Structure 1
Amino acid sequence: MTGVEHPVIRTPDQRIRVFVSSTLRELAGERHAVREAIERMRLAPVMFELGARPHPPRSLYRSYLEQSDVFVGIYGASYGWVAPEEEVSGLEDEYNLAPRSMPKLIYIKDVPARDERLEQLIARVQADDTAAYLHFSTAEELGERVSADLATLLAERFDESRADAPAPAEPDLAARVPAPYTTTIGRDGELAEIRALLAGGRHRVVSLIGPGGIGKSRLAIVAAHANADLFPDGVYFVPLEGVLEPGLLLPTIAYVLGIRDTGADSLDERIAQSLDDRRVLIVLDNFEQIVDEAPVLVRLYTLAPNACFLVTSRTILRIRGERVFDVDTLGLPPADAPPTLAQAQESAACVLFAERAAAVKPEFELTEANAADIIEICRRLDGLPLAIELAAAKVRLLPPADIAARLGRALPLLSAPMRDLPDRHRTMRATIDWSVGLLTAEQREMLEDLGVFGARFSLDAVEAVGSARPWGGHAIETLAALIDASLVRQADQDGRSVFSLLTIVREYALEALEERGDADELKLAHADHYLALVKDIAPRLRGQGQVDAVTELGLEVPNLRVAARHLVHAGRVDDAADFAWDLLVYWWISGYFADVRLWMIELQRTGRPTTVRTQAIVTFFTIWAEMWQTPGVEVVAGLGECARLFTLSGDEHAAVMALTARASTRLQFPDLDPAVAKAELDDAVARLQGFGDRWAESLAEVALGQLGVVVQDIPAALAHFDRAVEIAEAADDAFTRIVAGNNRARLRFLLGIVEECEEEFLLTLRLAIQLRFVEGATYGIEGMCAIAASRGETWRAGALAAAAATIRQETGIYDIAGLAIHLQPLEAARAADPDAVAAGERAGRDMSLAEAIALALPDAEVEMRRLAEAW
């Protein structure tokens, strides 16, 4: 709500009056819920059922409005009764009579149909810069929203009564949205329409629907950039092309939002906490392969009332709140118009062809001589952007006349057998067939074999998987030819060259591989390569090579998912379990436990016989989330069963890790038995020493330190944290050094050892940056907040505290009660200099993780700041 001078709002003890406007009978339950919400806040509801007649005269509700401070409107399906000699209903009249300076909170119920005049009134509300509006479904939800919104409104007005509010910061587009790699042609009209849909606030899900290759993803990316100003709290891009299991939709969205699944709470609750009332746009690209999961979006937009979803899909989602937007082909010259240069220059399809052709052959131009051939090509390809791009890439080999001639001979034959596909899709398939037809047999076979990979892959992986293939002896040259043919893309990521197929091309390749009968062989070759890769990398996940190992695995996540799926579907369930167990440290650092849990559940559903060790691994991963969310006797018993199964399998090392987890679970019990927990952890430490597992030993010492904090044995706690740090440093292990160091630094701060705290917090922050460990970085930021507050750096303390709180909210990071050491010194700083702390908090709430890290680090640490920016 902007554009007016806000009045000073009285504090609740002076009984602010809240006028409630709605139809009486239709929304009786909702009115009751709102009344209770207002009264719970010790405010005064102004409602006609509290003594007024069903249809009060205009003068009466004008009087009520004049005596009220806040206007609450509840709109459902009915426009309401229009009294004799009146032109509008009482519902609209009340809205008209509410003073412009009065804060207006409007709540719109999700209903199947609405009176036309009410739709018109709601459209006015949405255009009114003095009104805020939200949708709701149930009376209970409405009551909660009204309570929260009134509390926020009172806080804002109270702040405004003390000082002028600062100008809002310019909205910043989330860096996760990829930049278009080429210019966008011929989509201005669609972009304007999409903006209108996103700006209206009525549509929770806008679905860009069309066949493969029509440009849905490109349009969504450009729309995300163009409409960032409508979503001040962020724009996020979620690629789903590598997400084939329906259960991975929610974890994938959470991961892009920055929410890490360490098992501490359900993803639903974490996403709700992260988004809260933030106005964000979430782009979900390539939704068609998990379209049965579409109801998840309804659950998400219910939890996040101000979030909007922009979806690309080949099929309609068919869920409540969806607004379908059909993506059309690019404009072509009229069929009855002569094929002239002027006609080609006015056609978006022809301009696209010319630009993409010039990209591969810089001297190429759209001319009088080639205009007719280019128009013919674009017409035969029905204006499909991807088909045009594939054809344009061939100008390096063939002139437009030859391209047009080849298309003319190939299309009728290649499109005829596929009667069950849409015409445009048949044309697209024919276009890929034609492009593939220009390849040698060896190049074609490689393209089809590449269909087994995930969204991106390395040259090493290609060479390994193809070692026994005909093209295996000269993979580099063959891959280069596919890149030249615009069928494979190459990019640089984290200093390494990676390759990818367009989604439609990968589907085409995999289908051809299946028809050839080689799919199972290639899938197992792919799985075996990544099994071997994991076996090679896994030992480096603990110790000196940890940072490099985590970076390397981060590039391979799409193929790790695919490999796990290949193993499970091939019935190699024991290999799949070992694959998951070997990567335990990586799942923990990077927050992928939800993925692993789904694989384990899928593994169980195969019904195939498994070894005892596999049973132990499956039990461990499926119980991990419960260890944090519901730490009860059932979890303790389950982890004990894990240990028993590991022992039966002969893996005593894994058994001890399960027992360590069981002892750590006990620390969360309200009726903790310290002696039992200590005995189990002491035993675990001794046995882990015997196995030489310094990684797990350090974490067990941290648990002993936390036990000391819980029972207030501070000397013992500090000794165990010291020991945990010593073990981590001896192993040169970044993860355990971060965990142990942050626990020790926080305890030292509470003991007044401030100088050593600062050194340790900065060290753990640097390590977290290198490891890309969000939770560890958050601890370091909070630690530096405590240091700043203790030194009187009030603005910096406020900014760091607010930035850390935002990161915790957005990523779902939780903390052990009592160890948020920055809160008490922050309050002391606030008492000394409230304005500076408040100003810092305002700035900190808008900071990115990289900006917060930069503020926490000393000015001289340029390289660390650069790494944080790259993160």
Structure 2
Amino acid sequence: MSELPRGTVTFLFTDIESSTRLLREQPESYARQLAEHRANLRDAFRRHRGVEVDTQGDAFFVAFSRASDAVAAAEDAQRGLEDSQVRVRMGIHTGEPVVTDEGYVGLDVHRAARIAAAGHGGQILLSQSARDLVGRNDVRDLGKHRLKDLPAPERIYQLGSGEFPPLRSLHATHLPMQLTPFVGRRRELEAARSLLSRDGVRLVTMTGAGGSGKTRLALEAAAAVADDHEDGVWWVPLSGVSMPEDLLPAVGRVLGSGRATEAIGSRRILLLLDNFEQIIAAAPEVSTLLADCAHLVVLVTSRERLALQGEHVYPVPVLAREDSLQLFQARAHAVGSDFEPNQRLDELCARLDDLPLAIELAAARTSLLTIDQMLERLGSRLDLLRAGRDTEARHQTLRATIEWSYELLNRDERHLLGALSVFRGTWTIDAAEWVAGATLDLLQSLVNKSLVLRPQSGRFAMLETVRDFAAEHLTPRERDRLLGRLVEHQLKVFENANLGRRADGHPQMNLANAERPNLDVGLAWAGESGHADSGIRLLVLTEMYWNTTDPAGGRERLDRLLAEAGEAGKPLDLGLQARAYRFRGATFDLTDRFDLSEPEYARSLEMFRAAREEDQTGHLIALIGNSALRQGHIERAIDLATQSLEIARREGNPGDEGFALYVLAMAAFHQGDTDTGVRLAHESAPLTLKGGSIWFAGTTLLGAAEFLIAAGRIVQAEHDLATGLEYLASVSDRLNVAFALAGAAAIAALKKDAVRAGTLWGALEALKATAAGELRTSTGIAMDDNIRYIDPIRGAAFEKGRGSGRVLSLEAAIEFALTTGS
């Protein structure tokens, strides 16, 4: 063995996933595959200057002098295994181990081994230290994980963008990474930890003024009790949520989409609901969650208590003076100044009432001002800016601190800070320029002064306390002008986001998700200011977003705008009204209330005709036909779809023609005419593709395949399902993909291919076990729909495939369904 690297060393551990199963299934070829695996890995290690420390069975332990060499070796080794059935998991960690005559000893060796063991075949995992040294951009933060025999949670990263099941760790914490160390507050942290760990305590609310450090203390407390919550600790930021009814959807999105209660279920979870005060009316929803989810614990930060039964309130105190001094010095050094404390720092902390935000804002100025200068500037404004006697003292002091920081800005910086306060959640640099008149230099100046934040997402944000203060410096007229600019900007941005009814490109769902808080602000202003028409146009431009994520919420916002337009006596353009009622109808469609969607579509059709927008009428007629079909009125559906088809062909509209044919195809299937249904579905799909909707082409072919499976026409079903699955996977429609995988398993079962059927069924079982919300529900429904095909083929061969399928990621299962067995 070559001489072992010393000093800072990077360890790479590898192990074959499911090697025992591979040996059992392929005993004749296992020895050859194992030898090829070893040769491939040793070649990669040698080329990147790795030293083989130990080999046991199918596992390697290799040391490198440089972290970058270890990562390069791991990547080369995985590439060499791409055509092999051997799947290898790899873990990389950098530390400073002790070298003895027997080799390496120390916790770093165990840490590297445990990180590797937590992974899956084909996956490369990195520790925090290895990630920091490598400095790669193509790494994904998988959060903190408890690993066997290690004293503290480890933050683990994945190299590359591959999709894998959750890590095999004891449990995970889904908390944001903190860029600064947690300073002081040991007593407060222990008190909060003790309260959260007490039997029977399921709701804890941390209260205090804005800027008192509630969020940071809550994050640390949540991490400290992670061992008590085997299904994870989840952070739900509420600063961008402005309406009480949006609380549960926000929780559902963090947990993986769907309804919050379904996503939590019986799991042992701690939810941290951060910044609750702006939706305090949603407090009863927390009681409902706790009642429906028996093992849920909720930690809340808020400026006021929730006033619920069973609530335990923990008032967050100001910092102890020793902690204030430590925090000030730590933050002063972090901004790059050569700050040296003097005797007056204690006085400054006292004048700041030991509030964390006040101290951090003051420390940010140490590169410009001395302690004496700070005291002079702060002292001249404290009394002047105090609020009334009935205002909380901490809030008064924080207000003075922000005022002092504000006074240090020049006129242009102050103007921009006030203008940026109209945003909620986060915003882009383009939005700042368009709405607030920002320049790059001014925006950078506010970021440098810690008044504007730039999270890792690349978008900008602002502390709520700073935003509230900045907003007070806007006159009502100026605020109205800025909000008008915000709505104008949103209309411009979403005009080309492909989220409307007739899109011709890839829908920008991520943009709509990020802009949701600003959409809510803009929609509210539009109604309040007499610009309901602009708000309705904005809803219409984002229709796909609302219909696929929150149809009921979209309808509520639309109804408010329509009511406000009516109260103002300002008639809406007929074409806009028609689109509004079509939007409303779709929200009922997507909640399976076809009896309510039909009259909305009929009203929309009438208005389009009155507006002489005849090019819109054909699609509306087909929508009414689809509603009729779903209510069992097949003949009426056929008549309406036929009318729509004639209009679409006359106008040369392939998208509308495809949708009309889809309705006719589904009607034929419901009448038992499978041949006609297949023919019409095959005519529909290419037309909807031509019209710009690959998603609808995929759902059409999947629907046809499901009827073909029921009719026993397996060859045709397999072809349609494969094409439909490919289309749906290309637009990341995970819900319908679950139905496609279940259909593929049914086809394999009908073809007596038990191993293939078992593999796909095992993949579905794994998806259902790891998914949350609507995806879990849809997967369960898909399995229930096809279980009748699976039960007759169960046996040893099926179980063999099932075991293989349960370790597949969703992407691997899709690939398996598309490339095998046809």
Where do residues 204-353 of structure 1 align in structure 2 (5 Å cutoff)? 204-260=202-258, 270-332=259-321, 347-353=322-328
AA of the residue aligned to 1:502: L
Q: Measure, in 1, the Cα distance between the counterparts of 2:748 and 2:475.
A: 62
Aligned to 1:580: 539
Aligned to 2:424, the other structure's residue is in SS state coil
CA shift, 1:825, in A, is 4.6
Which residue pairs with 2:527 in the alignment? 568
The residue number in structure 2 matching 1:763 is 726
Deviation digits for residues 435-494 of structure 1, max 9, x if unmatched? Answer: 111111011000000011121111111111134xxxx5xx1111111111110112343x
For the residues of structure 1 that align with 2:812 and 2:197, how far apart are their CA atoms?
A: 34
Matched, 1:852 2:810: yes
In 2, the alpha carbon distance for the partners of 1:450 and 1:757 equals: 51
With over 3 angstroms needed to count, the CA separation of the structure-2 counterparts of 1:576 and 1:323, relative to structure 1, is same
Q: How does 1:122-141 map to 2 (within 5 A)?
A: none
SS at 1:281's partner residue?
Answer: strand
SS at match of 2:509: helix
- Cα 1:735/1:223, change in 2 over 3 Å: farther
- Report the counterpart of residue 724 of structure 1 in structure 2: 684
The aligned amino acid for 1:768 is: V
Q: Superposed, which structure 2 residues align to 1:520-539 within 5 Å?
A: 520-538=480-498
Deviation larger for 794-803 or 451-460: 794-803
Instruction: Report matched runs for 1:582-621 at 5 Å.
Output: 582-589=541-548, 591-606=549-564, 607-609=567-569, 610-611=571-572, 612-621=574-583
Report if the CA contact (8 A) 2:575-2:607 is conserved.
Answer: yes
Give per-residue Cα distances to partners, 1:707-727, cap 9 Å, x unaligned: 333332222222233233212
- Between the aligned partners of 1:271 and 1:572, the Cα distance in structure 2 is 34
- TM-score, with normalisation over the residues of structure 1? 0.67
Cα deviation 1:385-421 (Å, max 9, x = unaligned): 1111111111222233433333233323322x44342
| Letter matched to residue 460 of structure 2 | F
Alignment of 1:746-761 (within 5 A): 746-747=706-707, 751-753=713-715, 756=719, 759-760=722-723
1:640 paired residue number: 602
What is the deviation of 1:258?
3.2
SS of the equivalent of 2:460 reads strand
Report the CA distance shift for 1:815/1:793 in structure 2 as closer, same or farther (over 3 A): closer
| Structure 2 unaligned regions, length at least 5 | 1-166
- Structure of higher RCO (CA pairs closer than 8 Å, 6+ residues apart): 1
The range that moved more, 681-690 or 435-444, is: 681-690
Q: Identify the residue that residue 426 of structure 1 maps to in structure 2.
A: 396
Deviation at 1:568, TM superposition (A): 1.3
697 and 323 in structure 1: CA distance in 2 versus 1, 3 angstrom threshold: farther
Note closer, same or farther for the CA distance 1:174–1:577 as it changes in structure 2 (3 Å cut): farther
Q: 1:578 to 1:829 in 2, by over 3 A?
A: same
* Number of corresponding residues: 642
CA distance 1:759–1:624, shift in 2 (3 Å): closer
| 2:343 alignment counterpart | 372
User: Cα gap change, 1:738/1:408 in structure 2, threshold over 3 Å: closer, same or farther?
Assistant: farther
CA deviations on 1:173-212 (whole Å, 9 max, x unpaired) are: 365x422232222244444443444444523322121110
Measure the CA separation in 2 of the matches of 1:174 and 1:852. Answer: 23
Aligned partners of 1:482, 1:818: CA distance in 2, in Å?
52
Q: Which amino acid aligns with 1:797?
A: L
For 2:475 and 2:266, how far apart are their aligned partners in 1?
47
For residue 800 of structure 1, report the CA deviation from its aligned partner. 1.8
Give yes or no for contact 1:808–1:814 (8 Å, CA) kept in 2: no
Alignment of 1:290-689 (within 5 A): 290-332=279-321, 347-361=322-336, 364=338, 370-415=341-386, 417-467=387-437, 475-493=439-457, 497-514=458-475, 517-538=477-498, 545-547=505-507, 549-589=508-548, 591-606=549-564, 607-609=567-569, 610-611=571-572, 612-629=574-591, 631=593, 633-669=595-631, 672-689=632-649
Shift in Å at residue 525 of structure 1?
1.3
- Report the CA distance between 1:227 and its aligned residue: 3.5
Give per-residue Cα distances to partners, 1:153-177, cap 9 Å, x unaligned: xxxxxxxxxxxxxxx96354365x4
SS where residue 568 of structure 2 aligns? coil
Aligned to 2:151: none
> Structure 2-normalised TM-score?
0.71
Q: Find the aligned partners of 2:277 and 2:177 in 1 and give their Cα distance.
A: 23
Taking the aligned partners of 1:231 and 1:703, their CA distance within structure 2 comes to 48
1:402, 1:422 → 2: CA distance?
27
Indicate the percent of aligned positions where both proteins have the same amino acid: 26
Change (3 A) 1:328 1:646: farther
**Which one-letter code corresponds to 1:802 in the other structure?**
E
Secondary structure, aligned partner of 1:513: coil
What amino acid does structure 2 have at the position aligned with 1:457?
A: W
Would the aligned equivalents of 2:256 and 2:771 in 1 still touch at CA under 8 Å? Answer: no
How much has 1:762 moved relative to structure 2?
5.2
Distance in 2 between the 1:788 and 1:213 partners?
60
Contact 1:798–1:839 (CA under 8 A) maintained in structure 2: no
Alpha-carbon RMSD: 3.4
Residues 231 and 649 of structure 1, relative CA distance in 2, 3 Å threshold: farther
In structure 2, the CA distance between the partners of 1:541 and 1:647, relative to structure 1 (3 Å rule), is: closer
- Could you tell me which amino acid in structure 2 is paired with residue 490 of structure 1? R
For residues 354-396 of structure 1, what are the alpha-carbon distances to aligned partners after superposition, in whole Å with 9 as ceiling and x for unaligned? 22222211x646xxx5143332332222221111111111122
Q: Deviation at 1:853?
A: 3.0
Query: C-alpha separation between the residues in 2 aligned to 1:322 and 1:833?
Result: 54
Counterparts of 1:687 and 1:172 in 2: how far apart (Å)? Answer: 58
Question: Take 2:505 and 2:719, find their aligned partners in 1: how far apart are those partners?
Answer: 27
1:55 paired residue number: none
